[in-house]
Amino acid sequence: MDRRTKILCRNLKTILEFYRFFCKGFHEVEEKKDEYMNKKEYSKFSKKHTEKNDILKKFQTLPGVGKSVSMDYWNLGFRSLEGIRIADPEELYVRCCKLHGGYVDRCMLYVFRCVHYSLNTEKPNSEKLKWWNWKDTEKNQKSKR
């Protein structure tokens, strides 16, 4: 066999292996996962992934916090409600703007304020658990200018 034929055969063999791999059903591929990732690494990955999801779900129990905001808390380095409770909402907003690389809607600040209130108040007022009730007052806006 000449050199070109050998290369062509090798390429065809690779293509066939690729085709067989991707034509297998999802379940067959799942059964083979241990060949690609040993059990120890997989369990570490799985455990970390589960812990992250559990933490994000805890964050989503806070007023005004959904998937996106809970992910922002995660990306800001929070791993517990206690960390969020002691954080300053104004500083969080500035850090969030830096994280996103620019301006973030002020509504995010209002959510941070609302969450701070809910975590630091034993019996919170139900009206104050709505993020839109934490907007800047005219007096606050003038003093910041």
Q: For residue 10, is it within any domain?
A: no
Q: For residue 113, is it within any domain?
A: yes
Q: For residue 28, is it within any domain?
A: no
Please state the pTM of the whole predicted model.
Answer: 0.64
**Higher confidence at residue 45 or residue 80?**
80
Q: For residue 13, is it within any domain?
A: no
For the chain, the domain total comes to 1
Q: How confident is the model at residue 53 (pLDDT cuts 50, 70, 90)?
A: very high
Q: For residue 69, is it within any domain?
A: yes
Q: What whole-number distance in Å separates Cα of residue 93 and Cα of residue 57?
A: 21
Q: How far is CA 40 from the centre of its chain?
A: 24
7-11, 40-44, 96-100: range with lowest mean pLDDT: 40-44
Q: For residue 83, is it within any domain?
A: yes
CA angle (27 as vertex; 25, 29 as ends), nearest 5:
75
Tokens of 47: 């455990």
Q: For residue 91, is it within any domain?
A: yes
Domain limits for position 122: 37-137
Q: How far is CA 7 from the centre of its chain?
A: 45
pLDDT in tens, 98-142: 999 999 999 999 999 999 999 999 999 999 999 999 998 765 554
pLDDT of residue 132: 94
Ranges of H-type helices in 37-145? 39-59, 67-75, 81-86, 89-100, 107-120, 138-144
Q: For residue 17, is it within any domain?
A: no
Tokens of 116: 């701070």
